Amino acid sequence: MSLTPEVAGVVAKMREAEISFADLELAEARQFYIDTLAASGGEPVPMAEVVDQTLALDGRDLGARRYRPEGLAAGAAPTLVYFHGGGWVLGDLASHDRICRQLAQRAGCQLIAVDYRLAPEHCLPASSDDAIAAYGYLVEHAQDFDIDVQRLAVGGDSAGGHLSAVVALAARDAGWPLALQVLIYPATDLREAAGQYPSKGRNANVPPLTAELMAWFGQRSVDANTDPLDWRVSPILAKTLEGTAPALVITAGADVLMDEGVLYAARLADDGVDVAHAHYPGVIHGFIEMHAWLAATGNAMDRIAAAVRTHLGSTG
């Protein structure tokens, strides 16, 4: 796969590092992921307010972090609910802190990041159930989080893109308000047959998300109780996507997940959903996490911010 010169330099550095998640214990892998994103994400953007809160769901509490950028008026605000990536195994509020700050500032909206349960302690569809329940909780308790429920969006990267697609389907079925879904190189098909997507072979050796790492995630994110035909696991298999919120789908050309992201965007359009598809040729998976390294990251963040402003009426 042809890479842009800037991306090729980043990939070369990754290959020189010779660090594999397969060689790390789970706790080490999680910390390595946090440290890597801290380095690649750039300096944290100052916020007017950052508040950690708890979502008291049935049988479990989830952490959430609320970001309010400078210039956002007090009170109920347009809000982007964000789910981090990490293959349903890695990531937390710390790993994506820089991304959330960037998006909140650029979009001029409140952003709430949700710290869903991870595998292998809680295999799929546990994270999907958390995402659905968390979104419903935020709608029901909007006043406690200064949310304008008529100006709500959901978004996330990779596994978080998967969870965002799942939430959009659940919101449609539950009648919850949702103005926009932002799916950043989402995983949408977890069937074994999904390995037949050409991009999974063509980009199998392109870091950071190589075929080896995909297998590492797969061994940890599913178990005998995970049904790959369940729409909470493979949202592309939902009977119809009709009636879900307008969507922005972002895909990268040098990404193993490219084909299923492209196909999901096409299915949204075929089912009558208002969808914008932003494709970045020669760019790798995970690039939304690389603001300090890649110009494409800022471009994609601006695309997301523009979509949020359009659909939520924010003032960024």
Summarize pLDDT for 48-63 with one digit per residue, the tens. Answer: 999 999 999 999 999 9
Catalytic residue among 129, 157, 255, 259: 255
Integer Cα distance of 28 and 21 in angstroms? 9
With 60 as the cut, is the pLDDT of residue 316 above it?
no
With 70 as the cut, is the pLDDT of residue 132 above it?
yes
Q: Kindly give, in sequence order, each residue whose CB lies less than 8 Å from that of residue 129, ignoring residues fewer than 6 positions away.
A: 232
**Candidate from 21-35, 139-153, 173-187 with smallest mean pLDDT:** 21-35
Mean pLDDT across the stretch 141-150? 97
Burial class (CB in 10 A: 0-12, 13-18, 19+), 227: middle
Buried b (16+ CB within 10 A) or exposed e, 127-160: bbbbbbbbbbbbbeebeebbbbbebbbbbbbbbb
Catalytic residue among 84, 96, 285, 291: 285
Band the pLDDT of 193: cuts 50, 70, 90: low
58 tagged catalytic: no
Q: What percent of the chain has pLDDT over 70?
A: 98
C-alpha separations of 56 from 66, 134, 140 in Å = 15, 9, 12
Question: Taking the alpha carbons of 302, 308, 313, 316 in that order, is the dihedral positive or negative?
Answer: negative
Band the pLDDT of 21: cuts 50, 70, 90: confident
Q: What is the DSSP letter of 77?
A: E
In the prediction, which pLDDT does 192 show? 80
Band the pLDDT of 196: cuts 50, 70, 90: confident
C-alpha separations of 202 from 8, 87, 158, 206 in Å = 16, 20, 18, 9
Whether the link from the prior residue into 120 is cis, omega within 30° of 0, is yes
Band the pLDDT of 19: cuts 50, 70, 90: confident
In the prediction, which pLDDT does 163 show? 99
What is the chain's mean pLDDT, rounded? 96
With 70 as the cut, is the pLDDT of residue 194 above it?
no
Q: Which residue has the tokens 């922005």?
A: 248
Summarize pLDDT for 206-240 with one digit per residue, the tens. Answer: 999 999 999 999 999 999 999 999 999 999 999 99
In the prediction, which pLDDT does 204 show? 96
With 70 as the cut, is the pLDDT of residue 111 above it?
yes
277 tagged catalytic: no
In the prediction, which pLDDT does 315 show? 64
In the prediction, which pLDDT does 20 show? 79
Band the pLDDT of 1: cuts 50, 70, 90: low
Whether the link from the prior residue into 44 is cis, omega within 30° of 0, is no
Using an 8 Å Cβ cutoff, are 2 and 206 in contact? no
Buried b (16+ CB within 10 A) or exposed e, 16-50: eeeeebeeeeeeebbeebbebbbebbbeebebeeb
Domains of the chain listed by start with CATH number:
5-312 (3.40.50.1820)
Integer Cα distance of 277 and 251 in angstroms? 8
Residue type, 109: C
In the prediction, which pLDDT does 217 show? 96
Q: How far is CA 316 from the centre of its chain?
A: 21
Mean pLDDT across the stretch 300-308? 98
